[in-house]
Structure 1
Amino acid sequence: MEWMAWTWPTAIFFMVIAGLLITFSILAIKFPETPRKGVLQIETTRGDRLFITLLGSAFINLAWLGIVGAHQPYAMLVCLAYAAAVFRWV
Protein backbone atom coordinates (compact mmCIF):
# COMPACT_ATOMS: atom_id res chain seq x y z
CA MET A 1 0.00 0.00 0.00
CA GLU A 2 2.90 2.38 0.51
CA TRP A 3 3.94 2.49 -3.14
CA MET A 4 1.03 4.85 -3.90
CA ALA A 5 0.41 6.17 -0.39
CA TRP A 6 -3.11 4.72 -0.45
CA THR A 7 -5.19 4.17 2.62
CA TRP A 8 -7.09 0.95 3.19
CA PRO A 9 -10.51 2.58 2.64
CA THR A 10 -9.32 3.84 -0.76
CA ALA A 11 -8.03 0.39 -1.70
CA ILE A 12 -11.27 -1.24 -0.56
CA PHE A 13 -13.26 1.26 -2.62
CA PHE A 14 -11.37 0.37 -5.80
CA MET A 15 -11.57 -3.36 -5.02
CA VAL A 16 -15.35 -3.07 -4.70
CA ILE A 17 -15.56 -1.24 -8.04
CA ALA A 18 -13.38 -3.92 -9.68
CA GLY A 19 -15.53 -6.64 -8.10
CA LEU A 20 -18.70 -5.00 -9.41
CA LEU A 21 -17.27 -4.77 -12.92
CA ILE A 22 -16.22 -8.43 -12.86
CA THR A 23 -19.60 -9.52 -11.48
CA PHE A 24 -21.54 -7.53 -14.05
CA SER A 25 -19.33 -8.89 -16.86
CA ILE A 26 -20.03 -12.46 -15.75
CA LEU A 27 -23.76 -11.69 -15.47
CA ALA A 28 -23.76 -10.22 -18.98
CA ILE A 29 -22.16 -13.39 -20.36
CA LYS A 30 -24.30 -15.87 -18.44
CA PHE A 31 -27.60 -13.98 -18.60
CA PRO A 32 -27.69 -11.66 -21.62
CA GLU A 33 -30.42 -9.09 -21.43
CA THR A 34 -32.20 -6.79 -23.79
CA PRO A 35 -32.28 -3.10 -22.92
CA ARG A 36 -35.42 -1.95 -21.12
CA LYS A 37 -37.11 1.40 -20.76
CA GLY A 38 -37.71 2.74 -17.31
CA VAL A 39 -39.20 5.87 -15.86
CA LEU A 40 -36.73 8.08 -17.76
CA GLN A 41 -37.86 6.52 -21.06
CA ILE A 42 -34.31 5.68 -22.11
CA GLU A 43 -33.14 2.17 -22.89
CA THR A 44 -30.69 0.92 -20.27
CA THR A 45 -28.88 -2.32 -19.54
CA ARG A 46 -27.48 -3.49 -16.21
CA GLY A 47 -24.15 -1.87 -17.03
CA ASP A 48 -25.82 1.44 -17.83
CA ARG A 49 -27.71 1.34 -14.55
CA LEU A 50 -24.48 0.52 -12.69
CA PHE A 51 -22.79 3.54 -14.28
CA ILE A 52 -25.74 5.80 -13.41
CA THR A 53 -25.65 4.46 -9.85
CA LEU A 54 -21.90 5.04 -9.41
CA LEU A 55 -22.07 8.53 -10.89
CA GLY A 56 -25.09 9.48 -8.78
CA SER A 57 -23.49 8.05 -5.66
CA ALA A 58 -20.41 10.19 -6.23
CA PHE A 59 -22.59 13.30 -6.40
CA ILE A 60 -24.57 12.24 -3.33
CA ASN A 61 -21.35 11.81 -1.35
CA LEU A 62 -19.98 15.16 -2.51
CA ALA A 63 -23.23 16.91 -1.63
CA TRP A 64 -23.34 15.15 1.74
CA LEU A 65 -19.78 16.19 2.47
CA GLY A 66 -20.53 19.79 1.50
CA ILE A 67 -23.85 20.09 3.34
CA VAL A 68 -23.48 17.82 6.38
CA GLY A 69 -19.71 17.46 6.55
CA ALA A 70 -19.77 14.63 9.04
CA HIS A 71 -21.34 11.21 9.51
CA GLN A 72 -20.28 10.12 6.02
CA PRO A 73 -21.35 6.48 6.60
CA TYR A 74 -24.97 7.70 6.58
CA ALA A 75 -24.39 8.89 3.02
CA MET A 76 -23.79 5.27 2.12
CA LEU A 77 -27.31 4.42 3.23
CA VAL A 78 -28.64 7.15 0.95
CA CYS A 79 -26.49 5.76 -1.88
CA LEU A 80 -27.82 2.25 -1.33
CA ALA A 81 -31.41 3.52 -1.47
CA TYR A 82 -30.53 5.45 -4.63
CA ALA A 83 -28.96 2.32 -6.17
CA ALA A 84 -32.05 0.26 -5.39
CA ALA A 85 -34.25 2.90 -7.02
CA VAL A 86 -32.06 3.10 -10.12
CA PHE A 87 -31.98 -0.66 -10.62
CA ARG A 88 -35.72 -0.90 -10.03
CA TRP A 89 -37.13 2.04 -11.96
CA VAL A 90 -34.53 3.36 -14.41
Structure 2
Amino acid sequence: MDWMAWTWPTALFFATIALLLIVFTVLAIRFPETPRVGVLRIETTRGDRLFITLLGSAFINLAWLGLVSGPQWGALIVCLVFAAAVFRWV
Protein backbone atom coordinates (compact mmCIF):
# COMPACT_ATOMS: atom_id res chain seq x y z
CA MET A 1 0.00 0.00 0.00
CA ASP A 2 2.93 2.36 0.48
CA TRP A 3 3.57 2.83 -3.23
CA MET A 4 0.34 4.82 -3.58
CA ALA A 5 0.23 6.24 -0.05
CA TRP A 6 -3.25 4.83 0.47
CA THR A 7 -4.85 4.82 3.85
CA TRP A 8 -6.61 1.71 5.13
CA PRO A 9 -10.08 3.25 4.69
CA THR A 10 -9.29 4.10 1.06
CA ALA A 11 -7.99 0.59 0.35
CA LEU A 12 -11.03 -0.92 2.08
CA PHE A 13 -13.34 1.26 -0.01
CA PHE A 14 -11.83 0.14 -3.31
CA ALA A 15 -11.63 -3.49 -2.16
CA THR A 16 -15.35 -3.34 -1.32
CA ILE A 17 -16.16 -1.97 -4.79
CA ALA A 18 -14.07 -4.72 -6.41
CA LEU A 19 -15.78 -7.37 -4.28
CA LEU A 20 -19.22 -6.02 -5.20
CA LEU A 21 -18.35 -6.19 -8.90
CA ILE A 22 -17.14 -9.77 -8.55
CA VAL A 23 -20.25 -10.84 -6.60
CA PHE A 24 -22.58 -9.20 -9.10
CA THR A 25 -20.73 -10.82 -12.01
CA VAL A 26 -21.06 -14.24 -10.43
CA LEU A 27 -24.76 -13.59 -9.72
CA ALA A 28 -25.33 -12.55 -13.34
CA ILE A 29 -23.69 -15.73 -14.62
CA ARG A 30 -25.29 -18.04 -12.07
CA PHE A 31 -28.79 -16.49 -11.97
CA PRO A 32 -29.52 -14.60 -15.20
CA GLU A 33 -32.04 -11.85 -14.68
CA THR A 34 -34.57 -10.20 -16.91
CA PRO A 35 -34.78 -6.43 -16.58
CA ARG A 36 -37.62 -5.09 -14.45
CA VAL A 37 -39.44 -1.77 -14.48
CA GLY A 38 -39.56 0.11 -11.21
CA VAL A 39 -40.65 3.50 -9.93
CA LEU A 40 -38.47 5.36 -12.44
CA ARG A 41 -40.28 3.59 -15.31
CA ILE A 42 -37.02 2.38 -16.84
CA GLU A 43 -35.83 -1.19 -17.21
CA THR A 44 -33.01 -1.98 -14.81
CA THR A 45 -30.96 -5.05 -13.96
CA ARG A 46 -28.99 -5.76 -10.78
CA GLY A 47 -25.92 -4.13 -12.31
CA ASP A 48 -27.86 -1.01 -13.25
CA ARG A 49 -29.20 -0.72 -9.73
CA LEU A 50 -25.69 -1.18 -8.31
CA PHE A 51 -24.41 1.62 -10.55
CA ILE A 52 -27.29 3.92 -9.53
CA THR A 53 -26.56 3.12 -5.88
CA LEU A 54 -22.82 3.83 -6.16
CA LEU A 55 -23.36 7.05 -8.08
CA GLY A 56 -26.07 8.26 -5.73
CA SER A 57 -23.96 7.37 -2.69
CA ALA A 58 -21.10 9.44 -4.05
CA PHE A 59 -23.39 12.46 -4.35
CA ILE A 60 -24.87 11.85 -0.91
CA ASN A 61 -21.37 11.81 0.61
CA LEU A 62 -20.34 14.97 -1.24
CA ALA A 63 -23.51 16.76 -0.12
CA TRP A 64 -22.94 15.56 3.44
CA LEU A 65 -19.40 16.95 3.41
CA GLY A 66 -20.57 20.30 2.10
CA LEU A 67 -23.79 20.80 4.05
CA VAL A 68 -23.57 18.87 7.32
CA SER A 69 -20.98 19.39 10.01
CA GLY A 70 -21.70 16.00 11.60
CA PRO A 71 -19.58 12.86 11.42
CA GLN A 72 -19.32 11.10 8.07
CA TRP A 73 -20.81 7.85 9.37
CA GLY A 74 -24.17 9.64 9.22
CA ALA A 75 -23.80 9.74 5.45
CA LEU A 76 -23.13 6.00 5.50
CA ILE A 77 -26.50 5.41 7.15
CA VAL A 78 -28.22 7.60 4.55
CA CYS A 79 -26.39 5.70 1.77
CA LEU A 80 -27.50 2.32 3.15
CA VAL A 81 -31.13 3.48 3.25
CA PHE A 82 -30.75 4.83 -0.29
CA ALA A 83 -29.25 1.51 -1.48
CA ALA A 84 -32.10 -0.48 0.09
CA ALA A 85 -34.63 1.81 -1.62
CA VAL A 86 -32.92 1.53 -5.02
CA PHE A 87 -32.73 -2.26 -4.92
CA ARG A 88 -36.33 -2.50 -3.70
CA TRP A 89 -38.17 0.02 -5.89
CA VAL A 90 -36.03 1.13 -8.84
TM-score for both structures, normalised by structure 1:
0.98
> Greater shift after overlay, 64-73 or 51-60?
64-73
The count of aligned residue pairs is 90
The equivalent residue for 2:75 is 75
* Runs of 4+ deviating beyond 4 Å: none
Q: Among all aligned residue pairs of Structure 1 and Structure 2, give the percentage whose two residues are the same amino acid.
A: 77
Unaligned runs of 5+ in 1: none
1:13 aligns with 2:18: no
TM-score for both structures, normalised by structure 2:
0.98
The 3-state SS of whatever aligns with 1:61 is: helix
The 3-state SS of whatever aligns with 1:34 is: coil
The 3-state SS of whatever aligns with 2:86 is: helix
The equivalent residue for 2:31 is 31
Deviations 1:13-72 (A, max 9, x none): 000000000000000001000000000000000000000000000000000000113310
Letter of the structure 1 residue corresponding to residue 36 of structure 2: R
Distance 1:40 1:69 in 2: 32
What is the RMSD of the two structures over their aligned residues, measured on CA atoms?
0.6
1:58 aligns with 2:68: no
Distance 1:56 1:65 in 2: 14
Distance 1:5 1:40 in 2: 41
Instruction: Report the alpha carbon displacement of residue 74 of structure 1 after superposing the two structures with TM.
Output: 1.0
